């Protein structure tokens, strides 16, 4: 039995360190671009969700005021849209089942702010989210999102 001669390994086999580093750099660059685009879309979605929730809660408050002839007091708050407050006036007729199933939190996990009488809105109440930073005022995603926008 004759053995095949052992071929010496070629120095051309495999990748060089430079090639590997270039590939890693390109992957990092693409990941950064994708990450910034995804984070921006998330922030936009949170702001749009907050606006939608403010609008839905405002509609429920308007329905409440039509039935009860006034908006809930600040002490009753938005919970008055879910269950009839014990101290509600008997002037109107509270809708059976309430006006919403539950009071949502804003997209950043905090409760919406309900103030009555209004300070910023033309309506009888202010309803708003404090934005991403959870503080009054702010700009961009940190801006308050309310029923006056």
User: Which residue ranges make up each domain of the chain?
Assistant: 36-146
Between strands 145-146 and 113-115, the pairing is unpaired
- Contact call for residues 85 and 96 (beta carbons, < 8 A): no
- Contact call for residues 72 and 61 (beta carbons, < 8 A): yes
Q: Please identify every stretch of the chain with a pLDDT value under 50, giving residue numbers as ranges.
A: none
pLDDT value of residue 121: 86
pLDDT value of residue 27: 93
pLDDT value of residue 9: 62
pLDDT value of residue 135: 86
135: DSSP letter: S
pLDDT value of residue 38: 77
Cα–Cα dist 6/37, whole Å: 54
Counts for the chain of helices (H) and strands (E), in that order:
1, 3
pLDDT value of residue 12: 64
| Fold that domain 36-146 belongs to in CATH | Glycoprotein, Type 4 Pilin (3.30.700)
pLDDT value of residue 44: 86
């Amino acid at each position: 039995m004759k053995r095949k001669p052992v071929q010496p390994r070629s120095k051309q086999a495999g990748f060089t360190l430079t090639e590997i580093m270039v590939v890693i750099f390109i992957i990092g660059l693409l990941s950064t671009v994708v990450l910034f685009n995804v984070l921006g879309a998330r922030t936009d979605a949170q702001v749009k969700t907050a606006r939608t929730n403010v609008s839905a809660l405002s509609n429920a408050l308007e329905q409440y005021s039509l039935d009860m002839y006034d908006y809930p007091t600040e002490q009753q708050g938005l919970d008055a849209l879910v269950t009839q407050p014990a101290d509600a006036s008997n002037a109107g007729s509270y809708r059976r089942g309430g006006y919403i199933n539950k009071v949502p939190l804003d997209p950043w996990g905090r409760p919406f702010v309900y103030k009555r009488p209004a300070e910023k809105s033309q309506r009888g109440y202010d309803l708003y989210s404090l934005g991403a930073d959870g503080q009054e005022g702010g700009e961009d995603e940190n801006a308050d999102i309310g029923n006056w926008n």
